[in-house]
Amino acid sequence: MTHTLFSVSASRRAWLQSASLPTLARFLGGSGMAALAGCAGSQLPPARTRVLVVGGGFAGSTAAKYLRLFSGGRLDVTLVEPDAAFISCPMSNLVIGGHRQLADITRPYSTLAQRHGVRLVQDRVASIDSQRRLATLASGATIGYDKLVLAPGVELLLDTVEGLRAASADGRILQAWKAGAETLALRRQLEAMPDGGTFAITIPEAPYRCPPGPYERACQVASYFKAHKPRSKVLVLDANPDITSKGALFRQVWAEQYPGMVEYRAQHKATGVDARSLTVRFELQDDVQADVLNVLPAMRAGALAVASGLANANARWCGVDYLTFASTVAPDIHVLGDAIQVAPAMPKSGHMANGHAKVAAAAIVASLAGWDSNPEPMLTNTCYSFVDGRNVVHVASVHAYVAAEKTYKAVTGSGGLSAAPSQREGDYAWNWARTIWADTLG
Amino acid sequence: MRFCHITLAGWLPLLLVLPSAAAPADAAALRTEALAATCAACHGTAGAPLPQASVPGLAGLPRHYLVEQMAAFKAGRREATVMHQLAKGYSDAQIEQLAGYFAALPR
């Protein structure tokens, strides 16, 4: 057996230092444990360092896969995720618009196990004991780890809008900002709405998950109304001073494809809702009543990150060292995806989360091998928005780590937007989705 | 070497899921793989495209061809929707590094 990656004895020690018989026994299961007991000694296979990845979105799933790839299968990687399958947030607005089914944007987690040897645990991590390096699951089971990767996504701060938590719980006022059952529920509300009705979406102040997502959703709802309920209206009520992404393109689409149907209002910060009358109240402006109300509250890092004390930026987002995505609070915990405090011009997107995961996976493998982490990591982002069933606009960017400022900066001269919506980009957008799902999971 | 058949049986599942890529041999190889992984979200893991992909795979393309295409995207000689914007984010040295990596992979 050759050890191309870890031929240096110091490196090998680093890999082995945390290994133990119980580690292997846990990995092998009960029968393996008995076998090990009778077979202890020099015949033991090389022990593995255990990496626990929490959260199976774009960030966590990519991290699990690339930790295996970058280590040549040497790391013992466990992914804990409560959902049975991966449902993509990107492309989920197409389900709301009626152009795609939920099955089209759903992929199994099983490929991570079958093709990459990731151990999958369908459960929720309830708490982290970073001193003992132990995660406790909702089921009560515990998982020990040597390295921890947290990709908890975002928590919607329902209580920042008075009445929203109850209205959301009883299904009257939905968010559908995590794709799945709620995506379908919002679709059903639109289908049940009579022609001549109003759909209103409220947008929180940036930063929030998926900057262009709410405006794409407005396009998708308008596309459905145009075909099936042409007397209806779409109101976009934005807490921000202007459209936060692809502004000129969305305005052009609303003016040319949906004239008189989509109305955009800036500086509308939602403060409360009345579930019975489907009315939303604002900090300054007049109340708005709608037939279908989609209220997106402010967001912060997923609850586990907050409970673990990692959300040190405005008590909302997790500060990380951008070279490794190690938490600035707990350097042995890596935080990825929408939960992190982003550098300027870094959107909270699935594509960026996929990129965070690769930088972190490489940094973890380098650190375990005794190598310096890459001083020049790169991130890319391509974000497509469907303005109807076929036509798409994009924003793209390339981000390079700038050592002097310890942050990522968009590379000067790179990146940009579509000139106009096109079907050609629609083809590329769906291709992007299929490919990034496969890169993340397959 | 004393054999322990139950242990081997315990490890059998691992043998069936051998990683598709070889482990990088050193820090430089790992950095190149990580840089190349920035292409993977659109062009496929390790440059291998999906069936019926509408963007090309990169694995196994000749090095000089990859370098020339990236230069053409940067200079506006090759028309694109996105790639001309992304190509400008990579230095010539990075493009050489990427081209060498993808050219060495099997098609």
Residue B69 lies in a domain: yes
Query: Would you state the pLDDT for residue A47?
Result: 55
Query: Would you state the pLDDT for residue A48?
Result: 80
Q: How far is B66 from chain A (nearest CA, A)?
A: 19
Pairs across A and B, CB distance < 8 A? 180
Give the CATH number of the domain where residue B38 resides: 1.10.760.10
Q: Do the chains contact at A431 and B21, CB–CB below 8 Å?
A: no
3-state SS, residue A382: strand
| Residues on chain B touching A71 (C-beta within 8 angstroms) | 23
Q: How far is A371 from chain B (nearest CA, A)?
A: 6
Residue B68 lies in a domain: yes
Query: Would you state the pLDDT for residue A278?
Result: 98
pLDDT in tens, chain A (442 residues): 333 333 333 333 343 333 333 333 333 333 333 333 333 333 333 358 999 999 999 999 999 999 999 999 999 999 999 999 999 999 999 999 999 999 999 999 999 999 999 999 999 999 999 999 999 999 999 999 999 999 999 999 999 999 999 999 999 999 999 999 999 999 999 999 999 999 999 999 999 999 999 999 999 999 999 999 999 999 999 999 999 999 999 999 999 999 999 999 999 999 999 999 999 999 999 999 999 999 999 999 999 999 999 999 999 999 999 999 999 999 999 999 999 999 988 999 999 999 999 999 999 999 999 999 999 999 999 999 999 999 999 999 999 999 999 999 999 999 999 999 999 999 999 999 999 999 999 9
Q: Do the chains contact at A362 and B31, CB–CB below 8 Å?
A: yes
Instruction: Determine how many CB atoms are found less than 10 A away from the CB of residue A129.
Output: 12
| Residues on chain B touching A73 (C-beta within 8 angstroms) | 14, 17-19, 23
Q: How far is A196 from chain B (nearest CA, A)?
A: 37
What share of chain B in percent tops pLDDT 70? 79
Residue B45 lies in a domain: yes
Query: Would you state the pLDDT for residue B50?
Result: 96
Q: Do the chains contact at A396 and B86, CB–CB below 8 Å?
A: yes
Q: Do the chains contact at B21 and A69, CB–CB below 8 Å?
A: yes
Query: Would you state the pLDDT for residue B21?
Result: 56
The two counts, helices (H) then strands (E), for chain A are 12, 25
pLDDT tens digits for B47-97?
999 999 999 999 999 999 999 999 999 999 999 999 999 999 999 999 999
pLDDT tens digits for A341-393?
999 889 999 999 999 999 999 999 999 999 999 999 999 999 999 999 999 99
pTM: 0.89
Q: Do the chains contact at B38 and A355, CB–CB below 8 Å?
A: yes
Query: Would you state the pLDDT for residue B23?
Result: 81
Q: How far is B96 from chain A (nearest CA, A)?
A: 15
Instruction: Determine how many CB atoms are found less than 10 A away from the CB of residue A232.
Output: 22
- What are chain A's domains? 9-155+302-376 (3.50.50.60), 158-297 (3.50.50.60)
Q: How far is A6 from chain B (nearest CA, A)?
A: 8
Q: H or E segment at A263?
A: strand A262-265
Put simply, the chain B residues between 53 and 82 with a CB less than 8 A from any chain A CB are 53-55, 81-82
Q: How far is A413 from chain B (nearest CA, A)?
A: 6
Residue B41 lies in a domain: yes
Residue B55 lies in a domain: yes
Closest in B13, B41, B94 to A436, CB measured: B41
Residue B92 lies in a domain: yes
Number of domains in chain B: 1
Q: At what angle do helices A213-228 and A247-257 cross, to 10 degrees?
A: 10
Query: Would you state the pLDDT for residue A392?
Result: 98
Closest in A34, A379, A416 to B85, CB measured: A416
Q: What is the C-alpha separation between B93 and B96, in angstroms, rounded?
A: 5
Closest in A29, A70, A413 to B88, CB measured: A413
Mutate to test the interface with B, among A67, A76, A358 (most CBs of B within 10 A): A358
Q: Do the chains contact at B9 and A369, CB–CB below 8 Å?
A: no
Task: Please report, for residues A56, A57, A62, A81, A273, the alpha-carbon distance to residue A124 in angstroms, rounded to integers and kept in the order given.
Answer: 11, 13, 18, 6, 31
Residue B17 lies in a domain: no
User: Nearest 5 degrees, angle CA A228-CA A234-CA A238?
Assistant: 155
**What domain range is B46 assigned to?**
24-104
Residue B8 lies in a domain: no
